[in-house]
Structure 1
Amino acid sequence: MFINKGNQINPQFATKSQLFKLFESISNNCIKSLYISPKDLETKNDVISNLSEKQINFINKIAYSETGLSVFETTDKTYTIIPPFPILNSSFNNHDKFKILKDTLNQKYIIGVVLLRLGRYAICILKGEELLHTKTKDRYVKNRHKAGGSSQRRFERSRERLIRELYDKTCEITKDIFEPYENKIDYLLFGGEKHTINGLHKRCTYIEKFKKQTLKRLLSIQHEPNQKTLENIHKEVWKSKLYEISNI
């Protein structure tokens, strides 16, 4: 595998508008651009030979990207960007150096989003950044019980039942919202704690229909999944990772 998961480095996060401002600011002194698809990133394709040794070593420190990456070299800095959605084809030093990434960021993808925490879910369909359909709901799930003995076992059985009911209801509502868009959904994203999302995957067979469209990254949820969260979720869905290094 091309990407080394050791010695990982932390990125900045950039919105679409922030990236477009960056492109404008470096357009006059951008001397090289490179786009690497996820497949070529995985197989260490010869396309990376267009980079300097320092740039390759830097990319090796970035955690694996399921969406590929783009590299823009200026006279003094190199910017590496991991986009929110896949770069379909690798290319080097194309005429319009920013066009491929701009086109990716301007796509009107149909995106399914499922946000889940124990006790609440929020589900939506996006077209680009526009909300098309939403649904939120809370369902009571007991906190963990600290006492021991039979009382604790009864409590845990009750809690497990409530969690199953939450998963089943989330699955039911997801199906209701997604069905009209089943043949149109380009990508599916989940948000919440990893073990909770894993539990939903095990319980909800419907979402397996979108296995090929599902991206592995989990959306960050700062607050409870609710309508307000969904109204701002496009920012999280469309954000990119941005790395910047000096060429000196």
Structure 2
Amino acid sequence: MSSQYQIIIKNMSGQNMSFYAFQKQATFTNSGVTPSIVSSCLASGPLAPNASSGAQLDFSFDMQNYVGAKSNIASSTLATFNASISLANAANAVSEASAVQPIDLTTSTPGESVNNFSELAVFPLGLSAAHYQQGLGAGSFGVQIPSYSPTPLPELYCGCAAINQDGSITLSSFITPLPSSQVYCAPVATYYVKVGSVPVGQVITYGTAQAALCDFTRGYRTISVQYNSDGSFTTKGS
């Protein structure tokens, strides 16, 4: 099992609350073009007041980076698109498919060989095992996108992914890639916690105002988040 980052949330207000978490939006370039980036919810749940219940929410995220893709031939809009895909359902649903592979981020050491690049196949959908590709920027991975007809079908999404405990896949930050292009993605191990009831995998309106910052790039493995009675958050890393 992959090593994980952990966020522990305690509700110090006097009422039941719901919280959700999402990752800091990754940086993308797509063959020199800066694309529109979409983000989705990675974890969520309700939480009773800690003083009366002793309850807490635990959100865990793999330290391993993943590249993910989804192809969905059913019509959808941004408002209804769900970036979470059940592996079991995808095996039986001809209208959608998903793929995921572990991938490494390019290091800052010139010429250091890491598995930082994958090739995407569209028909059928798949991602090759990651391998080394030179010339990528530090902190990023790359994906080769094949030729395909984006309209009217298929709908194709690619980006960084998370694997949930039930085996389902959520695309954390993703784009609609250009045909015959290269996608470069630079994810960051930083997450945010907000008040709200949002299903895992649902597309969110990305924004970090009034959110608790959980920045694991500082070397933390666990970050405790306290929701206070005045609506503010307090965080502590360890």
TM-score range, shorter chain: under 0.3
- What TM-score does the superposition give when structure 1 sets the normalisation length? 0.26
Q: Which has the higher contact order (CA 8 A, sep 6+)?
A: 2
Higher share of residues assigned strand: 2
Higher share of residues assigned helix: 1
* Structure number, greater radius of gyration: 1
